Amino acid sequence: MITEEHLPALQGMFPSWITTCSAAGEPNTTVISQVWYVDEEHVALSFQFFNKTKKNLVENPNAFATIVNPGTMAMYNLDLEFDHSETDSELFDDMDMKLEAIASMSGMSGIFNLKAADVYKVKSLKALGS
């Protein structure tokens, strides 16, 4: 499902957006700094301070994300299903290091704090407008 074409949009160079909703159906939309490639069928999102998103995912595993290729501005919509969280793994360490680099570059060092790498199954991936 995820191919080489999509990888530039999964390098954290441009913000991504995610919408989740509570069990009661209340949507929540927010920006995230990084969508991380795990394998052809999974991505990971950084769980930092968007607590409502995390709370929603506990209640309802469905999420919708948009990623952007920073070179071409091609956008892709991903239907996601929360799978599991990692706090002690190579994936977590890689994301933590990258996040700190992004924070340093944007003057937000010490504010971004990775609490977990949340791994999602990609149920569909569509180019925006297709």
Partner 1 sequence: MIPEQTLEALANGFGHLGSASADLKTAHTDILSASVDQENDTVTCFALSFLAGPTLDNMKATGRVSYFFGLMSHEAYQFKGQFIETRELTESELAQSEQFCKAIAEILGSMGIAPEATMKLVGTAPDLGITFKVENIFNQTPGPEAGQELPFN
Residues engaged in binding partner 1 (CB under 8 A)? 17, 19-21, 23, 25-31, 49-52, 60, 62-64, 66, 68, 70-75, 79, 106, 108, 111-112, 128-129
* Structure-token pair, residue 23: 């069990």
Residues 6+ apart with CB under 8 A from 129: none
CA 74 to centroid of chain Cα atoms? 17
- Using the minimum distance from each CB to partner 1, give the nearer residue, 36 or 50: 50
**6 neighbors 130 (Cβ within 8 angstroms):** no
Residue listed under structure tokens 């052809």? 40
**70 neighbors 49 (Cβ within 8 angstroms):** no
CB of 6 to partner 1, least distance (A): 15
- Using the minimum distance from each CB to partner 1, give the nearer residue, 39 or 104: 104
CB of 33 to partner 1, least distance (A): 9
Cα separation, 82 vs 73, whole angstroms? 26
- Using the minimum distance from each CB to partner 1, give the nearer residue, 40 or 71: 71
- Using the minimum distance from each CB to partner 1, give the nearer residue, 17 or 37: 17
CB of 3 to partner 1, least distance (A): 19
